[in-house]
Amino acid sequence: MNQILCTKLEEQDIQTRKKRNWFKFQFSISMVIITILICFGIFYFYRLQEKEKISNDLISNYNIYRLYNHSNNTNNDALQDNPNALFGIIEIPKINLYYPVFSNCSEELLRIAPCKFYGETPDVNGNICIAGHNYDNSLFFSKLSTLSVNDFIYIFDINDNKYIYKVFDVYEVEPSNLSPIFNYEADMKILTLVTCNNLNSNRIIVKAKIE
């Protein structure tokens, strides 16, 4: 009888040790995963801060250029010929947005700041289209979807002229829908802002115009 009891106790002890070891294994795996996620989060945050710093440096250099250009009354042909030239500054007070805008668009430039990918200049009729990444935080065009009709958007060109746009539409389209770019009245000055909706892969569109 005692032998049977001892055998059962040994079996229970073995099962207990197995469960304990399995729990330790799961705990170790969980800690490794958590550590990896934390490291990834720190790296991602660092990269975003780095992009923000580059944008701030661009704004500082751009403002210096505008001051120099204005005081010396020089033309901006040299700047416009540069593939990394700046189109101007975009400011949206409602969402605390203030960034330089590149005159050209590429994946590399989009990682640094918003980019103009269609249109001319604010002083002529047409549709100026600017794209910016959505990082799902406060950077670049992440808060574009929170804009509403009648919100204001300011564009400053390289000659320090300020253009005031008023939002008249906010909506989404599928990535293949190019109507926000090409559908506009030729005698109007339109601004189109574009970013991604990371939840459904659609494009968030903000349309504004100079009144």
The domain containing residue 171 runs over which residues?
Answer: 53-209
Please report, for the domain that includes residue 165, its CATH number: 2.40.260.10
Of 4-13, 98-107, 192-201, least confident by mean pLDDT is: 4-13
pLDDT at res. 82 = 59
Q: Please report whether residue 70 resides in a domain.
A: yes
Per-residue model confidence (pLDDT) at position 197: 92
How confident is the prediction for the chain on average, in pLDDT? 78
154: in domain: yes
Is position 40 within any domain?
no
Please indicate whether residue 86 or residue 149 has the higher confidence score (pLDDT). 149
pLDDT of res. 58: 55
Q: Based on the structure, what is the number of domains in the chain?
A: 1
- Quick check: is 92 in a domain? yes
Determine, yes or no, domain membership for 22: no
Is 88 contained in some domain? yes
Least confident of 75-84, 114-123, 173-182: 75-84
pLDDT tens track for 115-136: 999 999 999 999 999 999 998 8
For range 187-192, the mean pLDDT: 96
CA dihedral 134, 139, 140, 144 (to 10 degrees): 60
Tokens for 25, please give them.
């294994």
Q: Is 84 part of a structural domain of the chain?
A: yes
